Chain A
Amino acid sequence: MRETPLSNCERDFLLKGIQEKKRLDGRQTYDYRNIKISFGTDYGCCTVTLGKTRVLAQVSCELVPPKDSRPTEGIMFFNLELSPMASPGFQSNRQSELLVTLNRQLERCLRNSRCIDTESLCVISGEKVWQIRVDVHVLNHDGNLMDAASVAAISALCHFKRPEVAIQGRDVTVFSPEERDPVPLSVYHMPICVSFAFFQQGSYLLVDPCEKEELVMDGLLVLAMNKHREICSIQSSGGIMLLKDQVLRCSKIASVKVSEITELITKALENDRRARKEGGKFGFAESIAKERITVLTREEAPLDTTDIQATADGIISKADAPPEVVPSPVIVATGTGQVGEGLENTWGLEEDDEEEEMADVTERKTKEDEVMVLSDSEEEEVVILNQDGRSKRSQR
């Protein structure tokens, strides 16, 4: 399915609005849309909604051999996916230009800024390290995917806990969460991307562009920054010329936005930690707004099972030719199953026949050896087996 294109009227309308400092959703130039961060029941699972844009991030880990060049460092792997749910223009498992740019930007923002202590992920130097995999799924595309993805990824990384390991000589024991408490990753700082859209060759600037604004923009500047006002990555795309002042002004705006977002993430993490500690309810099921008209929930309740026995018996008795004995299934070991009683294998017999035949053929061949020349041709083989054919052949 194709993306809905933007008409010329819409384009003109949007640009005119931007010139008059008006935005489609009533925001001011430097306003962010509402950000909501919620965590799942799993460690390292997080959804972020930025206005109508929605992303889901999941962190997972596994033990792998390290890279030869860095034997004492864990591996960080980022994978951003544009699910076809997010927009009709996205196709699953196809590398689009947008996907590559977003993935690259996410890597630059989170891996190259060294915000995660990768050395603490080493288990045995040169043999086993933790690979931390971050999957970011875009669920709904309403512009500014980069900011939403970076917030989701860093929140999920802060929320994630990996299993505790013990090393005895060369043996590595991985403990389940029940045996030993899992350990969080050591996060040095939280880089967050802030996007700026430029219009009319850089004369107008908007923070956090929505999808329609992204379609009419001339250039995009993505700044990744942490709350200590350190720039982690900076990327300008769209081929616009920016003045030094413009970039500096953007970095000033970004520093304000980043400190706000960082505070939001810390608060969300704190809330989740408290809910888990107090044994209260947590997870996505708790984070949906129950007062909405489109939301409905039902409490856990037992089922009435009074006449189930009768129904089941009724159906079985009515069934055609019920088997006289219903053998209870035999389980050799957990996870195995068996179909039928196991009859004699008839496959072997056929094979034997074939072998006999083959032997026959070779015998006959040896007999005829003086008369004819053996060849690989199929036709000739048939001739050998067929008596009439053989006589004809000898006549020839």
Chain B
Amino acid sequence: MELDINSPVLREFGSEQSLLSKPDGSATFMQGDTSVMVGVYGPAEVKVNKEIYDRATLEVLIQPKSGMPSVRERTREQCVRETCEAALLSTLHPRSSLTLVLQVVHDDGSLLACCLNAACMVLMDAGLPMSRLFCGVTCAIDAEGQIITDPTAQQEKESRALLTFAIDSKEHNVMMSSTKGSFSMKEMQQCIAVSQKASERIFQFYRDSVKRRYSKIL
């Protein structure tokens, strides 16, 4: 079986941190036209019914651009929450709450991946202790079996399968996966391998942005 990867690309991406004054940490992440804004509050006091005695309670809210949050937002919230919980050292803040609020600013494909990247940027901005960083990469497999990384909304619509992975920065392992459509095992392994390659670039971006923030020269 031949590998059909037509030189996958990551669209131009960028981020801004600390752009909102109210939240303890805030960031916006843009991948092509897809854009997500996040704010985080915490560690702060927690409601008694949500209190966990040995670690912090993490709450993730995703606000759609128009209308009320629906089931789709709920599933995304769960994906982001579970990834963040795995990366955060929440035992350092027992009986406290962390609230992550994501606002979809524009959806042009790879929204979940963008949410994950924005979430990681915001956790870094808020200075919350984490055991590792993470990033999200979306791969689409089109009708001809070609793998497209970071697909646009149009490419997502035309694709046969859509796979989103959260990759950790330590061993480049898969922390979370969310898939849609049908694909073979080989195709999935290829997608993971491509995502791991793409994750290196995003982690380099994280490193560069931290370096830029804490350096005195632009």
Contacts and interface: CB of A to CB of B under 8 A. Distances in A.
A62 to B, nearest CB: 10
A52 B22 CA distance: 9
Nearest to A327: B184
Interface stretch (A196-204, A259-267, A288-296): A288-296
Contacts of B212: 293, 296
Given A2-B45, A60-B66, A285-B30, A139 B14 contact: no
Contact of A42 (B101, B106, B194): B106
Nearest to B45: A1
Chain A interface size, under 10 / 10 to 19 / 20 to 34 / 35 or more: 35 or more
A341 to B, nearest CB: 13
A58 interface: yes
A312 B187 CA distance: 8
B182 interface: yes
Interface string B60-75: 0101011111000000
Given A41-B33, A296-B209, A316-B185, A305 B20 contact: no
A301 B10 CA distance: 6
Given A142-B21, A305-B194, A299 B101 contact: no
A297 B41 contact: no
Nearest to B30: A285
Nearest to B145: A328
Contact of B20 (A45, A93, A140, A326): A140
A39 B10 CA distance: 24
B7 to A, nearest CB: 5
Interface stretch (A77-85, A169-177, A375-383): A77-85
Contacts of A331: 160, 182
B44 interface: yes
B92 interface: no
Contact of A295 (B15, B45, B183, B194): B15
Interface stretch (B80-88, B127-135, B163-171, B197-205): B197-205
B21 A52 contact: yes
B61 A303 contact: no
Interface string B21-64: 11100101010010101110110110000000000000001010
Interface in B1-29: 3, 5, 7-23, 26, 28
A87 interface: yes
A284 B66 contact: no
A331 B37 CA distance: 37
A312 B190 contact: yes
Given A60-B66, A326-B184, A303 B10 contact: yes
A374 B56 CA distance: 60
B103 interface: yes
B20 A83 contact: no
A158 interface: no
Given A52-B21, A85-B39, A142-B22, A301 B9 contact: yes
Contacts of A322: 185
A6 B65 CA distance: 32
Contacts of B42: 1
A56 B17 contact: no
B5 A284 contact: no
Contacts of B160: 329, 331
A326 B186 contact: yes
Contacts of B66: 58, 60, 133, 135
Interface of B: 3, 5, 7-23, 26, 28, 30, 33, 35, 37-39, 41-42, 44-45, 61, 63, 65-69, 97, 99, 101, 103, 105-106, 108, 149, 160, 181-186, 189-190, 192-194, 196-198, 201, 205, 208-209, 212-213, 218
22 contacts: A1-B41, A1-B99, A41-B106, A45-B65, A56-B65, A56-B105, A135-B66, A140-B39, A283-B106, A293-B212, A296-B209, A296-B212, A297-B14, A299-B12, A301-B9, A302-B9, A303-B10, A303-B194, A315-B189, A316-B185, A329-B160, A337-B182
Sort A-B residue pairs by CB-CB distance and give the 5 closest, nearest first. Answer: A297-B14, A329-B182, A85-B39, A85-B101, A312-B189
